[in-house]
Structure 1
Amino acid sequence: MAQKILVIGGCGRIGRSVARDIATYTKGEVIVTSRNLNCVVNPPLEFLALNLDRQDSLQKAIADVDLVVHCAGPFHHRDGRVLQHCIAEGVNYIDVSDHRSFYERVIPWREQAISSGITAILNTGIFPGISNSMVKRGIEKFEQPKKIHLSYIVAGSGGAGVTVMRTTFLGLKKPFAAWINSKWQEILPYTEREIIEFPQPYGKTGVYWFDVPETHTFADSFPVETVITKFGSIPDWYNHLTWITAHIFPDAWVTTPKGIEFFSRVSYLMTQVTDNFSGIGVAMRAEITGIKDRQETSYCTTMIHENTAIAAGAGTGSIAQLILEGKLNKPGIYPVEQALSTELFQEAMQSRQIEIVSG
């Protein structure tokens, strides 16, 4: 019988991309879920109406599948109930979680997942996701890695929906802890603008401190002294608008549910116009500094893709494929860089014609 994959939130832009990737690269039966009864999916995908607040329906849906892929963000507010049901039912789990609060909420359940025998991998997708494995590949070049500098930019909407916009605005006002010089230090989001040279067609553009799961998990995964994670948008004037939102507008405008929804929808409507000339691609650059052959040196790796949502689908879909094929089996709960080997990562990217460039 074909393996069954449940893609929760599979009617959103990222969820659809993930579902399509899994359907393309596996022989599994892919079932996408949504609360929206008007969601339309095309074969071979199947649809299941599902409300995550209905615990009985959620448990029944999970018990009937071999793998759950959680794509229903933003993950700032998710309580981990999907993963809890997967642990109880012995079903493997992956997600596209993109905030450290979710990681911190569910990582204490690692021993339960080990006892249940399930592989649960967090932070798959593009960033976090592919970005994590790019950094890991660089870390492995050094005898003593010391510093990680990860930057990425998204053109326009990135081909994603309004949920991704909500994620951005949810992270603009709250200071976060970053691992700098071997200690945790408080950082304000969207500060310390830095000009980074990305591969063409993007070139030099501005990036800013931003709270992403990698800021937290890299410090746990790798023996480094400093982890820097910065994000930016194209066209560059979006960066300036975001900076104003983060530092000039009153907190009450941005931190309330109504304020976040307003800014998210306005931003999404703006990108529907600018996407026509900016494109919807993504560029990432990971620079690792450390000791090799008794000398301090650096290693840089980059990646670009013309559609951010499709790249995210490839990042998550490739993890799903490896689990379904039995190539990735590590009971417990882990961020992707702790579970996925560089060899398997490179194999998955090559199969999807995603080029990771070094130098």
Structure 2
Amino acid sequence: MTKKVLILGGRGRIGYSVALDIAKYTQAEITITGRTSRENYQDVALQYLTLDLAETEKLREIIPEYNLVVHCAGPFHLRDTQVLELCIDNGVNYIDISDHRSYTIKALKLNEKALNAGIIAVVNTGIFPGISNSMVRQCIEKLDIAEKIHLSYVVAGSGGAGITVMRTTFLGLQHPFDAWINGAWQQVKPYTARENINFPAPYGQSGVYWYDMPEAFTLPQAFPTVKTVITKFGSIPDFYNHLTWIAAHLFPKFWIQSSYGIEFLSQVSHLMTDVTDRLTGVGVAVRVEVSGIKDEQTSVATSNLFHENTAVAAGCGTGSIAQLILEDKLTQPGVLTVEEALSNHLFEQVMAQREIVIMPTN
């Protein structure tokens, strides 16, 4: 029988990239959802369903019809776990593109329920977190003991994504967050401690800053010998970094923490990237550095990735997890992060299919 996939938020740029990836690499029947009417949807290759996540009864009715639900309807700062819980209740596998600590914590608390239901649920798929987590696992398995993880991400302009990603960026500036540093949790202010990181071409030296990501706390849980996890993010062109720093540190706190302030900044940023994207492109680069011990000597393992379109790269990350679940190659039940769910062998296999090159530097 043809397997059926439901993609919530599939009208968005990342959700649509996920749909295209799954359509390319599987034989699944794909339905995407959006809040606008079916009359406004023209793509005949994918089925379409008008749906708002607030329509709980409608969700409860349709989810059992599918083999896999892919949750792409962010921002995840604002989401509860209703979709995941409905999947568990109905024995339907689940993945998402969640990218915020608060949502990940809530989802992982449902692990025992998912285990008892026998469903596979993988959270934080995409490019970062997602592909980046698997790059960390690759580096860790080159060492005997991993002690420190340093993750750096840079995105050009809008990244080819929609305004929801802008909202997510500014929502991430609202509060200090806990980081795992020298074996203890320490509070860090977002968009501080700039570093210039040498990314793959065409970006080269680019600035990155502390930024709250789910992998900041999931990686120490997955790899217990690790004593420090650093997650930093930056933008191209560099003046966006300075504008974001100003928003994080000079704007009145009540303004950056209000829905009006977030929406205003997001709309303005989106208009600006409409212009700068033509000059910078919409790519993404990831650099992973893991320090530790190899053959009783201090050692460092690093890897790099560049993709010309951030939204497409995120689609590849999530689509590859969907492909593996639909092919029964990922079978471990429970609520898992990517680094827990995906072996290096399977990761390398699906990246090679998509011609995504992970570049080790040692």
TM-score, with structure 2 as normaliser:
0.98
Instruction: Give the conservation status (yes or no) of the 8 Å contact 1:129–1:315.
Output: yes
Q: Which residue in 1 is equivalent to 2:287?
A: 285
Matches within 5 A, 1:171-210: 171-210=172-211
Q: Which residue in 2 is equivalent to 1:249?
A: 251
CA apart distance, 1:43: 2.6
AA aligned to 1:142 is L
Q: Please give the root-mean-square deviation of Cα atoms over the aligned residues, in Å.
A: 0.8
CA apart distance, 1:53: 1.1
Structure 2 residue 326 is the aligned partner of structure 1 residue 324: yes
- Distance, in Å, in 1 between the alignment partners of 2:302 and 2:145 is 16
Q: Which residue in 2 is equivalent to 1:10?
A: 10
- Distance, in Å, in 1 between the alignment partners of 2:109 and 2:302 is 33
- Distance, in Å, in 1 between the alignment partners of 2:42 and 2:355 is 25
Q: Which residue in 1 is equivalent to 2:146?
A: 145
Q: How many residues align?
A: 359
Deviations along 1:248-283, one digit per CA (max 9) or x if unpaired, are 010122110111011001001100000000100000
- Distance, in Å, in 2 between the alignment partners of 1:43 and 1:54 is 25
CA apart distance, 1:77: 1.1
Deviations along 1:70-127, one digit per CA (max 9) or x if unpaired, are 0000001111000000000000000000001001112111111001000000000000
Q: Which residue in 2 is equivalent to 1:226?
A: 228
CA apart distance, 1:41: 4.5
AA aligned to 1:227 is V
- Distance, in Å, in 2 between the alignment partners of 1:43 and 1:29 is 12
Matches within 5 A, 1:341-356: 341-356=343-358
Give the 3-state SS of the residue equivalent to 1:320 in structure 2.
helix
The farther-off stretch of 118-127 and 32-41 is 32-41
Structure 2 residue 65 is the aligned partner of structure 1 residue 75: no
Q: Which residue in 1 is equivalent to 2:260?
A: 258
Give the 3-state SS of the residue equivalent to 1:191 in structure 2.
coil
The farther-off stretch of 22-31 and 38-47 is 38-47
Q: Which residue in 1 is equivalent to 2:129?
A: 128
Give the 3-state SS of the residue equivalent to 2:219 in structure 1.
helix
Structure 2 residue 110 is the aligned partner of structure 1 residue 109: yes
Give the 3-state SS of the residue equivalent to 2:301 in structure 1.
strand
Instruction: Give the conservation status (yes or no) of the 8 Å contact 1:41–1:47.
Output: no
CA 41–229 in structure 1, closer or farther in 2 if over 3 Å, else same: farther
- Distance, in Å, in 2 between the alignment partners of 1:15 and 1:265 is 20
Structure 2 residue 275 is the aligned partner of structure 1 residue 299: no
Instruction: Give the conservation status (yes or no) of the 8 Å contact 1:22–1:320.
Output: yes
Deviations along 1:203-242, one digit per CA (max 9) or x if unpaired, are 0010000001111111111120100000000000100000
- Distance, in Å, in 1 between the alignment partners of 2:40 and 2:97 is 20
AA aligned to 1:330 is Q
CA apart distance, 1:39: 4.5
Unaligned stretches of 5+ residues in structure 2: none
Give the 3-state SS of the residue equivalent to 2:36 in structure 1.
coil
AA aligned to 1:267 is S
The farther-off stretch of 290-299 and 32-41 is 32-41
Deviations along 1:293-334, one digit per CA (max 9) or x if unpaired, are 000010110000000000000000000000000000110001
CA apart distance, 1:2: 1.0
Instruction: Give the conservation status (yes or no) of the 8 Å contact 1:103–1:213.
Output: yes
Instruction: Give the conservation status (yes or no) of the 8 Å contact 1:133–1:345.
Output: yes
Q: Which residue in 2 is equivalent to 1:91?
A: 92
- Distance, in Å, in 1 between the alignment partners of 2:57 and 2:275 is 42
AA aligned to 1:126 is I
TM-score, with structure 1 as normaliser:
0.99
Runs of 4+ in 1 over 4 A off after TM superposition: none
- Distance, in Å, in 2 between the alignment partners of 1:258 and 1:190 is 21
Give the 3-state SS of the residue equivalent to 1:98 in structure 2.
coil
Give the 3-state SS of the residue equivalent to 1:76 in structure 2.
helix
- Distance, in Å, in 2 between the alignment partners of 1:119 and 1:260 is 34
AA aligned to 2:349 is E
- Distance, in Å, in 2 between the alignment partners of 1:255 and 1:41 is 37
- Distance, in Å, in 2 between the alignment partners of 1:277 and 1:53 is 39
AA aligned to 2:113 is Q
CA apart distance, 1:173: 2.5
Instruction: Give the conservation status (yes or no) of the 8 Å contact 1:11–1:39.
Output: no
- Distance, in Å, in 1 between the alignment partners of 2:44 and 2:204 is 39
Deviations along 1:7-37, one digit per CA (max 9) or x if unpaired, are 0000001000000100111000000001122
Unaligned stretches of 5+ residues in structure 1: none
Instruction: Give the conservation status (yes or no) of the 8 Å contact 1:8–1:34.
Output: yes
